Structure 1
Amino acid sequence: MKVSHLSDVVRMLNLIPYFEQHPGYSLMEASRDLGIDAQQLLKDLHCLWCCGPGDMHGELVDMEKPSYHGVLIHDDQGLDRALRLTRVEAAALLLILEQLEAIPDIENRQAVVSAAEKLRSIMGVKAGVVYDSDAARTTNSDEEHATSVIAEAIRRRVLIRCDYVSARSNTRRERVVDPHHLFSREGQTYLSGLDTETGEERSFRIDRMESVRATEEAAGPLTGARDFDPSDPFHFQESPEWADIELHPQATWMADYWPMELGQASEDGWITAQMPWSSSAWMCRFLLEHSDRIHLIGPESLRAQVAERARSALGSYAACPQHSKKG
């Protein structure tokens, strides 16, 4: 077997300490742990079977003939530890682990936390060369506490109370929520649950929740919750209302932050698009805020509401001329 890349050598040499620490593991189990195809693992082990620092029998790696059923190593030739990570590799791995730490209610969380702590203790101040690890861990303590409280409430099936700042209604008030799921989307953590006041399934951003606390009031069964679709966590595809809009050609980045289905460019270069909405108040505010880059085409009922909101705002300025001019 020809080995042409350093990465191949590193992968192979790490197999010996792995199988020594996991005696009896099959290649299928190793494939699951290492993310390497089982057939590739078998080829690598056959190559190692005939390798060593010399040519004599005592100078070669000694193992039972590798098979899919398991690997038994008799003489590792001193290769009993995995190769060291470079500083950049360790920092990149730590960054990934800390992203996993931020995922709410992740399976085997303790293993992720333990691995990250070991890397931090080994790297010390060098962890900050690529990524300011300690700073990242201290800025989201409130969100981590809220996430922990919510996860425990989901486990115990009790209601939670919080003060919530809503971007939809631009209000801040207490909410009582029957918590269903925690999920992450584009760097933000959300709670999907039943708003007990409206009786509707809603999504709540964790960083907009304050004074989160679990109650002793029993929540409903999770079997009655709406099915969670990771590809459409906010259920935009179920929205009964869609707006036809045109987007400025330099504002297509907005489709990465708001639910929009982009269409074709018109003759003047503006991009046709469709956008779901459920709250007319929020949609009017959104369209007016971005009126320099979004043109509303329809429906006509929404156009009328936006026009009315614009007239109302202009009327407020006209009623207070002393505040409408500088100086």
Structure 2
Amino acid sequence: MRGLIIGRFLPLHRGHQYLIDTALTIVSHLTICVRDTRDATIPLVTRISWLKEMYPEAQIIGMPDLEDDLDTHAWASHTQSFLGFTPDIFFSSETYGDEFAKILGIRHIMVDQARLAFPVYAAEVRKDPFYYWNYLEPCVRGYFALRIRVLGAESTGKTTLCQELARCYKTSWVPEYGREYTERVKKGFSEGMWTSQEFIHIAREQNRLEDQMARQANRLLICDTDSLATAVWHERYMKFWSPIIANFGSTQHYDLTLVTGDEIPFVQDGFRDGEGIRNWMTQRFIHLLKERGEHYALVEGSPEERLAFAIQEIQSIVKKKSYSLNS
């Protein structure tokens, strides 16, 4: 028996999942059509990937949209033509479902129209995903988590600030993979012993870790460096700029960038060798951010002043988005 669900999934939430889970207990084959609407704020490929991850047993396909959202007859004809078959059951939580199914000559099963099981609507989630955080799966949370990027030269308090922010917001933070790689593989920095391929590996892994940790984040993700910083480290050790490595950063999005100042004393930890270039690196970060048109905030002062300033910047971003951080 074939079942059909049509939706935008902007975004996928527990209410949608309740509908899908119900359908899967009734039919042996379920097709989920994801509408490719022009005004979608979330890419079709992203929405499809969420559903494929959550429901590998279902057939997930992107569906061309119709301009008239209220023409049920047109939608029934469009759906039948697009699918190339007529399903046995149409599942929905909407009032149009009865007429849609009747036109197709199939059964309609209404699932929780009143939203009693999961009182959530996609439009409300889009307005404030933080408020509805518990109605979202990790893959969806990773999309909505605000990413706070912290850049800085060696011994400028970058990691300390990341750890303190993560503690304050009870969330996860992404460690600097380049540091871990250096300690584990390189046994410390040494000019002339690096290859561009290693930096490519570090940039790729930094992005992977960031996307992975975003799924675990409590609304905010604190990122200790990024792949752009990897490009700067490559420039520092290999003596030339690599557009390939810098381009790894184009796939990532950050809601706030903090640059830690180099006015504090340098502390040697056995691996650092960049005391003399701290100011160059700080200015290089600022130059690159300006060149890319990316807003940043310079963090200076005592550890307490830095933390207070960073929290103020984060709260400003959250307020601007009208999100409920304390939900």
- Name whichever structure is richer in strand by fraction: 1
TM-score normalised by structure 1 residue count: 0.20
TM-score normalised by structure 2 residue count: 0.20
